[in-house]
Amino acid sequence: MEENFVRWYSPNTDREMDLVVFGHAGARVLVFPTSHGSYHEYRDRGMVDALGEHIARGWLQLYCVSSFDGASWYARYLSVAERVANHLRYERYLVDEVLPYSKGQNANPFLIATGCSFGAFHALLLGLRHPETVDRVVGLSGYYDATRFLDGQGGPEAYFVNPMAFVAGADDPRQLALLRHPDIVLAVGRDDGSYANNVAMSEVLWSKQIWHAFRVWDGWAHDWPYWREMIQHYIGGPDSR
């Protein structure tokens, strides 16, 4: 399969940002790493190989980005407002730089956002903040209440980067119509510490009539061998299993 490393200076993050592209055609897949993860994590952990047939046949093209978490969610030395502002800089890098780049490489209009663990949080957050852009979200073993990453604070700065909060508060019919656009798949192990939060996120989505698939796996299921299996089930859509 094709593998292409790309680096450029991002005016949004004010640093050199790396990503790697796997494949030559198909639905574009924006892949978020786990906490503090790198662009090559998905390959190193066997996830690219797990999707090898999809990539080789031109069904999927992966855009694996690097984390910005050290400057945002995990920058404990910054205020919550500063951490949120830095995450929004990263989001602008994705929306204004990475996605236009991907469209220049691949005209396929269908976009999937996916990630494991903290990457799942990033994928769902992007999909719900930009539902006009993201067509499918596949979140594996995520935790979706942003206050956990912001010292337990849920003030005005955190509201719009917290899926649990802003989806629960959505009441504009036009906004709700947009939120119902992406296919959403949330998968988690029953014994995962994030299981209860996944149940709560699913309940918030259903309360707004946002259709999604909530898939529960036996045991803990919070590790790469499980995620390699999960992604093969769910990358094709919510009814894949």
Q: What is the CATH number of domain 3-234?
A: 3.40.50.1820
Do 170 and 199 contact (CB within 8 A), yes or no? no
Confidence (pLDDT) at 1: 79
Domain range annotation of the chain: 3-234
Confidence at 237, pLDDT banded by 50, 70, 90: low
For residues 5 and 183, give the distance between their C-alpha atoms in angstroms, rounded to a whole number: 29
Mean pLDDT over each residue of the chain, to the nearest integer: 96
pLDDT-derived band at 42, boundaries 50, 70, 90: very high
β-strands 183-189, 136-140: how paired? parallel
Per-residue pLDDT, 240: 42
DSSP state of 70: G
Q: Encode pLDDT of 148-182 as tens digits.
A: 999 888 788 899 999 999 999 999 999 999 999 99
Average pLDDT for 215-230? 98
With tokens 């790493």, the residue in question is 33
Assigned token pair, 190: 């029953």
Burial of residue 93 (CB within 10 Å: 0-12, 13-18, 19+) is buried
